[in-house]
Amino acid sequence: MNGIRYFAGILTIACAMTACGGSCLKRKAQDTYQLLNSELKIGDNRQTIESVLTHEGIGHSYDKYTNRYGSTVYFPQCGNDQTVSIYIYLDQSGNLAKVEAFASYTGL
């Protein structure tokens, strides 16, 4: 009986640290992507992009060398070290060209 409990405990820990929480994180990434795409349109200027990110409480930074905004959003309900990475690419005129939001893992 102790062997079964031990195995169940190990399985629970392994699940919490790996892809078992992945469905939560995948859903959060999809929700984030849909949210940004519903509020932002191709061609929006930097002021509009920053306003939307701030309004949604998404901390962000702008990298002038890659000409994009970036953010890492942590969702503790999905498990430890699991985040959604957001990249908002601008065109040469400084207007919105592309939005990405995807699940990422910051640790083991």
pLDDT at 1: 52
What is the pTM (predicted TM-score) of this model?
Answer: 0.76
Does 1 reside within a domain? no
Does 12 reside within a domain? no
pLDDT at 7: 43
User: From edge to edge, which strands make up the β-sheet containing 61-63?
Assistant: 61-63, 68-74, 82-90, 96-105
* Residue-number span of the structural domain to which 27 is assigned: 21-105
Does 94 reside within a domain? yes
Q: What is the spatial distance between Cα 2 and Cα 98, in angstroms, rounded to a whole number?
A: 53
Q: pLDDT truncated to tens, each residue of the chain (108 aa)?
A: 555 554 444 444 444 444 455 689 999 999 999 999 999 999 999 999 999 999 999 999 999 999 999 999 998 888 888 899 999 999 999 999 999 999 998 765
pLDDT at 32: 96
What is the number of domains present in the chain? 1
